[in-house]
Structure 1
Amino acid sequence: MFPEGYFFLHALYGLSWVEIGMREPVGDRSTALREVRWALAKLDSPSGRAPFSPGLTPPYGVFHRGWSNWLRGGVLSLQPAGHRNPGEARRFTRDSAALAAAFDTSRSPYLEAYPGQVWPVDSTVAIASLRLHDALLPDRFTETVQRWVREVRGRLDPRTGLLPHRADPDTGDPIEVARGTSQSLIQRFLIDIDPVFAGEQYLRFRDRYLASPLGLGPAVREYPEGMDGPADIDSGPLPLGVSLSASVVTIGAAQVHGDVPLAAALAGVSELAGLPVDTPWTKRYAFGLVPVGDAFLAWSKSARPWVAKAPPPPPAQISGWWRVPLLSLLAVLAAAPWLPTLVRRHRRHRRRT
């Protein structure tokens, strides 16, 4: 598992429980709250902080602090206004203020996740958590968020017009082209920061990264159309240039943007390619060998905006006929073992006649 695997697994578990809790009546959220608080405690534990540096600003870096703060806001989202835990509210405000101060004093809109290393997706999550704070508690961080959006607009990847995959730690200038693994997450969070900017970015992402390898259904490329590049620990293997992890996470991005046809199609492909195994109590993918993949699927399939209103659906880019080539291939594969028997029977029938 990648270095942040322990952290990510618990973060996604907690965030999925937030989504479940939000769908329950206020009085029926005790189980969700218990599970989210348990997951949040894991992020705050020595094991949760182990891969990260306490010497960064903010301590442990923007990856750890951003995702933790988003989940902390999720805990408060499950509690009705006026009945929120005061200690949890104070901690959320304190951590949000530390993040805002780091952004306000940085030359770059992107903070470090590790010493000397910057991925814009991590700062996107952190800024979304500030918007969540101001949606739940008195407004404090509007100027920080607005400044961040302005600065990001001036530092987009020149090839794609999207937020880059990696950026210079001092200036925030792009140093690596936008990639599917980070874009699928960025598109999930950006809508809760600036819905107009997010809508523009989502359409660019969809136009440049959505593919249909061999005509067998939608998937998300790791690199933009017309460009290939190496796989890494984030993307996993890239068969035909497709990132399976980005394809899964884009289910959630499509859902928060109201792109129901794409979300449903990607989810349908995941049911086949993910090799699901059902038991009376659970459902696991990839034979249960990649728990973080299960967590990403649960989180993605339950996605909806936390701050912004649900947007109008974008123009559909995928037809309901996408299943036909895939189902045809499956029919051929299913029939293949029977072909020798059918041929023999046909020959015997011809000899008799």
Structure 2
Amino acid sequence: MPEVPSLLRRALRWSRRIAAVLISFCAVVGAVRLIAPATPGGPAGEPPGVRRQLAFLRGALDAGAAGDAQALFPEGYFFLHVLYGLTWVELGLRVPGETRAEALREARWALERLDTPPGRAPFSADLVPEYGVFYRGWCNWLRGGVLSLQPAGRRDAGESRRFAADSAALAEAFDASPSPYLEAYPGQAWPVDSTVAMASLRLHDTLEPPRHAATVARWLELVRERLDPSTGLLPHRAAPGTGEPEEVARGSSQSMIQRFLPDIDPGFAAGQYLRFRDRYVVTPLGLGPAVREYPSGMDGPGDVDSGPLPLGVSLSATAVTLGAAQVHGDAALAGALARYGELAGLPVGTPWTKRYAFGLMPIGDAFLAWSKTARPWTATGPLEPPPASVPWWWRLPLLALLAVLGAAPWLPALRRRARAAR
């Protein structure tokens, strides 16, 4: 019988050692993720792991993930497909034209899924333009991306005609509206949706003979007259018909607005981005950059767009701001957000796929993959990067914390050995 306690003690001792090894291993992996590059080395570079993310997302879409996302929020089905397609466009634009077949095929597949009853289900056909500015703007942006993947002289004629017609319908709706913000749903207007649509008109004028410069100029003038008075940014929500601000600028929409504004007007975008970064990008507990849902000094409730707000931070806004930072040339912030995401996002990778948060929320993977590949689509030259706001030492507190976590399981054994050596 004395052997039983001895066996138990040995089992406990080995279980403690295994746990210590696992904790230390996780700490080392976390440190590596904080140090290793997580963004492309330049505008033409491909972000690490994005193709494997797309492989995971395609499998999830084939297994019904879009329907699951739709159950979580009204645009779940739509966003999962459109971001999948846009990420393929981004990757396709980074390779020579003759090697873009896969990107073109997958982007077209995503676009076709949007042009179906499930893709249009949340939106009203009675709006102007039909199905509202959210649906028409994002579809137009993706359709322009599909055309961007094709050589200028050999673009699909049907796709070109559809792009021109949808762009004209959007421009006509904007020209006829006293507000710069069209309705996405009956009686509801969010400036971010009109920003996407306006960027698609600029994309049209980049790919095709220009037709919408006056519409874009008028839109910018109306926007400047209707900024959120407390932040100087585009508001989160606006009054239908007038465009007057109805809700303070919020991180979940600002992060996306900042992603698209450089494709509309780089000069206006630069000032807006600095305002956004100064008021919304924070370092909670000193442990890395994140994005608040409400401006510093203001708190408010979360919703389906922002998600939960621990310490006032929106995880969705933080992920999308990575893309906004890249588009603005803010390499320091983009790199910090990407590396922090590699640590906190709990990525799980195989040689074929990669997913974050154990793949429990594919919509989050879609936003992150799209953000990691973000670049301007209409700019004729590199944007002037903003002054860096992230100090070089931002990782040191996190690395110190990981060092403590990695060493802590071994401290009792080290103390015992030290006492025995006396």
Q: Distance in 1 between matches of 2:128 and 2:366?
A: 29
Partner residue of 1:14 out of 65, 76, 85: 85
How many correspondences in the alignment? 350
Counterpart for residue 417 of structure 2: 345
What does 1:100-179 align with in structure 2 at a 5 Å threshold? 100-179=171-250
Counterpart for residue 329 of structure 1: 401
Counterpart for residue 64 of structure 1: 135
Alpha-carbon deviation of 1:347? Answer: 3.2
Q: Distance in 2 between matches of 1:194 and 1:283?
A: 35
Instruction: Report the residue type matching 2:329 in the other structure.
Output: G
Partner residue of 1:242 out of 313, 325, 335: 313
* SS of residue in 2 equivalent to 1:175: strand
Q: Distance in 2 between matches of 1:335 and 1:180?
A: 37
- Contact 1:120–1:164 (Cα < 8 Å) also in 2: yes
What does 1:285-304 align with in structure 2 at a 5 Å threshold? 285-304=356-375
- Contact 1:160–1:204 (Cα < 8 Å) also in 2: yes
Q: Distance in 2 between matches of 1:148 and 1:327?
A: 46
Q: Distance in 1 between matches of 2:420 and 2:131?
A: 74
- Contact 1:119–1:166 (Cα < 8 Å) also in 2: yes
- Contact 1:256–1:310 (Cα < 8 Å) also in 2: no
TM-score (norm 2): 0.82
Q: Distance in 2 between matches of 1:7 and 1:247?
A: 21
Per-residue CA shift, 1:294-346, capped at 9, x if unaligned? 11111111111000132021111111210000111111122222233233333
Of structures 1 and 2, the one with the larger relative CO (CA 8 A, separation 6+) is 2
Counterpart for residue 303 of structure 2: 232
Counterpart for residue 272 of structure 1: 343
* SS of residue in 2 equivalent to 1:313: coil
Partner residue of 1:319 out of 391, 397, 400: 391
Kindly indicate whether residue 108 of structure 2 is the aligned counterpart of residue 37 of structure 1.
Answer: yes
Gaps of 5+ in 1: none
Counterpart for residue 197 of structure 1: 268
Q: Distance in 2 between matches of 1:330 and 1:236?
A: 27
Counterpart for residue 167 of structure 2: 96
Q: Distance in 2 between matches of 1:88 and 1:206?
A: 37
Q: Distance in 1 between matches of 2:398 and 2:248?
A: 31
Q: Distance in 1 between matches of 2:241 and 2:367?
A: 31
Partner residue of 1:3 out of 50, 60, 74: 74
* SS of residue in 1 equivalent to 2:246: strand
* SS of residue in 2 equivalent to 1:34: helix
* SS of residue in 2 equivalent to 1:293: helix
Per-residue CA shift, 1:39-76, capped at 9, x if unaligned? 00011111100111111111111111100000000011
* SS of residue in 2 equivalent to 1:315: coil
Instruction: Report the residue type matching 2:285 in the other structure.
Output: L
Q: Distance in 2 between matches of 1:337 and 1:9?
A: 41
Alpha-carbon deviation of 1:290? Answer: 0.7
What RMSD, in angstroms, separates the aligned Cα atoms of the two structures?
0.9
Gaps of 5+ in 2: 1-71
Q: Distance in 1 between matches of 2:290 and 2:273?
A: 15
Alpha-carbon deviation of 1:261? Answer: 0.6
Counterpart for residue 63 of structure 2: none
